[in-house]
Structure 1
Amino acid sequence: MFKILIIDDDPIVRMALKNTLQKQGYDVSVASDGEEGIILAKQLQPALIICDWMMSGLDGLEVCRQIKSNPNLATTFFILLTARGAAPGEERDRVQGLDAGADEFVSKPIEVNEIKARVRAGLRLHQLHQDLQNQKQALQILNQDLQTQKQILETELSEAAGYVRSLLPPPLSDTISTEALFLPSIQLGGDCFDYYWIDDEHLAIYLLDVSGHGVGSALLSVSVLNVLRSQSLPKTDFCQPSQVLSTLNQSFQMENHNDKYFTIWYGVYNRIQRRLVYANAGHPPAVLLSHTSEQDIVVQKLDSLSCPIGFLPDDEFEDNTVEIEENSTLYIFSDGVYEVPTLDGEIWGLNALIDLLTRYTKTNNCYLKQVLAAIHSVSARTKFDDDLSILKVSF
């Protein structure tokens, strides 16, 4: 039931309005002057106030100002009663009333049907304001809940990202040394790499890139890493890259892994024979840089034409072999390293990356932090759209 407050110093008007509105089903209270009206308004917080303009003490304008300045009463619909009908200053008076916060004016003598209609209209507007306020509060609560959930999710993602990083191998630093750069585009990415000794002679090296980003891609990436690191693929010679990729392809078909697939470059280095056998499933070519002299460098792209893992269940993969000269460097990377939008609107590209690696190798040890700085310098964006992973193996 709507609460209505009538403020008028005329007892006859008060009684007439109260009886009329009570018959309409409203909860009606009355006050005989402005000060009493303000006190009652604060106590009752009515939906609508009808107040006489001309009263002794506080007049209707001042009552209206104080009511509207109170945050708890700001949406109360305020009707000013005026006897100023068609007087020459009527327009100026209404401006005064509107400036004070009045929502409606009713002229005396009061016509019963008019006041009923004005009250109904005022209460509809008040209800609309209340509904909007309720919706605003509900949205604020929802926003707070979302912020809390976001913080929880970010914490969990950060922990998950830390776990993924903890799985990456420590650097090698003997006759074979390694350096790696792992930069997900978001907290969890689909790139992953590893290297480990299969036996005393053979070092396995690979880098994979799962389609998409986020938790699903990271989970598949970690699953593949664990399978390869534990060498748990059945009937698989892990020294034979084509066989490893074939078994992976049978085990990780898209239809069984939420339509996710992955590319992978997988190689096995024989340290006695100084020979690298490799296979590639839809991954960017690895790049081998070999010194023929202090300033001359031979560049070889270690590529193949096979599909990514998960596309075709019976796809075939082939082994390729390359001899590793002394002081050679192998770079394996995801496509996020070179598919970088530049300031002129072009894509930086694989050839530009190879030129950069070759140029840096001629002048210094080509630390990957320098490579990353160079990529940032040509990129049109501060954050990369794709995961960025690069593995450097120095023989």
Structure 2
Amino acid sequence: MTQILVIDDDPTIRLVLTKALQKQGYQVTVAKDGKEGIEQAQRLRPALIISDWMMPHMDGLQVCQWVKANPDLSTTFFLLLTARGDIEDRVIGLDTGADEFLSKPIEIDELNARVRAGLRIHQLNQELHSSKQILEAELADAAEYVRSLVPSPVTSKPATIEWRFIPSKQLGGDCFDYYWLDADHLAIYLLDVSGHGVGAALLSVSMLNLLRSRSLPNTNFHQPKEVLKALNQSFQMNYQRQHYVDKYFTIWYGVYHRVKRRLVYASAGHPPAVLVSGTNAGNTLVKKLKTPGLPIGMFPEAEYADDSCEIKALSSLYVFSDGIYEINLPDGTLWGLDDFIKRVIYYRQKQTANLDHLLDDIRTLNGKDSFEDDLSLLQIIFG
């Protein structure tokens, strides 16, 4: 039976409302003031509250503020009972959080109509709240699944690798991997699918499995530009038409030759990887590693190119998604790539610093518990 709470300091009004509502089949509980009303609301979690505006000690607006601030009563419909008819008064009530008004003297037909409408809205809000909880649970499960696929850190020579991955609240399409193609060649890549949600995450996982299994036909995985070209062709044929219309993804892919100490790389619309050599301010060298190329899935005729660079001893390579530096600051400005690189250099020059210190700094800049986009960061230190 639907639970309705009536809060009014006038016993006659309480009796009139109780009789009218019980006649419609509702279960009614009454409270004689705001304090008792809050106690009853906490206990009952009613579908609808009818509260008088003018009451001693705690008025209806204060009760309304408390109800709307309570997560357990987020779907409760609040109907404010008042003899005030001025527009200014109703604006105040709406700004406080009231959902509807009921004028004094009470017209029973109007009461019943407003209660029925309020209960319909309450039911819709409950369904939306339930759907939101289910969606959040699904996103959390998807994020956990994506996290389970990331590789383990590497602590042995010739390269030590660690990473940090923080899914956004909506879950994006970041994923990354690294593995030895043979005894001398280490492949490293990070990709970022457009959009958010489970669809973006599933596409990123599909690409991860495709690369991890090396199932792209006629592809030399030692040559980054060939890998990107094959990915683009495969995406056009097997993914774009069937499952992921209007989707695309960016990627940075590199192959390190441990004997020659040379890194060959290519990118498709992805932020540049950053290579940092030297350990102090006097000899630090920074190089952005990026090649021209459109994101995978945009155009079937897209072309990709390789580039290469020498890797000096104790150099560090940072590969990341744009979620780590596209941060809206409180003053309205955007924290950008160059700001992030400066922060990387600063922490690298501090011998005791690590990725957690860097991310704590970025969290502070973000000013919120969650990020707008997935945040992925790889750090490869070459011995």
TM-score, normalisation: structure 2? 0.69
Residue of structure 2 aligned with 1:363, choices 350, 358, 373: 350
Unaligned stretches of 5+ in structure 1? 1-61, 77-100, 102-124
Tell me, yes or no, if structure 1 residue 228 matches structure 2 residue 176: no
The equivalent residue for 1:194 is 177
After superposition, the Cα gap between the structure-2 partners of 1:133 and 1:66, relative to the gap in structure 1 and judged at 3 Å, is closer
Q: Quick check: 1:279–1:318 contact (8 Å CA) kept in 2?
A: yes
SS in 1 for 2:230: helix
Identity %: 50
Q: Quick check: 1:191–1:387 contact (8 Å CA) kept in 2?
A: yes
Residue of structure 1 aligned with 2:372, choices 379, 385, 390: 385
The equivalent residue for 1:143 is 125
TM-superposed deviation, 1:219: 1.0
Equivalent AA in structure 2 for residue 286 of structure 1: A
TM-superposed deviation, 1:339: 1.5
Q: Quick check: 2:292–2:305 contact (8 Å CA) kept in 1?
A: no
After superposition, the Cα gap between the structure-2 partners of 1:126 and 1:279, relative to the gap in structure 1 and judged at 3 Å, is same
Equivalent AA in structure 2 for residue 249 of structure 1: N
Residue of structure 2 aligned with 1:155, choices 118, 137, 158: 137
CA distance in 2, matches of 1:63, 1:364: 74
After superposition, the Cα gap between the structure-2 partners of 1:319 and 1:131, relative to the gap in structure 1 and judged at 3 Å, is same
After superposition, the Cα gap between the structure-2 partners of 1:359 and 1:294, relative to the gap in structure 1 and judged at 3 Å, is closer
Q: Quick check: 1:289–1:298 contact (8 Å CA) kept in 2?
A: yes
CA distance in 1, matches of 2:281, 2:114: 75
CA distance in 2, matches of 1:327, 1:311: 37
TM-score, normalisation: structure 1? 0.67
Query: 1:1-395 maps to which residues of 2 (within 5 A)?
Result: 67-68=15-16, 70=18, 72-73=20-21, 126-175=108-157, 176-253=159-236, 255-256=240-241, 257-291=244-278, 296-364=283-351, 366-379=353-366, 381-395=368-382
TM-superposed deviation, 1:297: 1.6
After superposition, the Cα gap between the structure-2 partners of 1:184 and 1:63, relative to the gap in structure 1 and judged at 3 Å, is closer
Unaligned stretches of 5+ in structure 2? 1-9, 25-80, 82-106
Question: Residues 347-388 of structure 1, C-alpha deviation per residue, up to 9 Å, x if partnerless?
Answer: 121111111111211122541111112223333555322221
TM-superposed deviation, 1:292: 7.4
The number of aligned residues is 289
After superposition, the Cα gap between the structure-2 partners of 1:378 and 1:150, relative to the gap in structure 1 and judged at 3 Å, is closer
Larger radius of gyration: 1
TM-superposed deviation, 1:335: 1.2
After superposition, the Cα gap between the structure-2 partners of 1:155 and 1:343, relative to the gap in structure 1 and judged at 3 Å, is closer
CA distance in 1, matches of 2:123, 2:19: 20
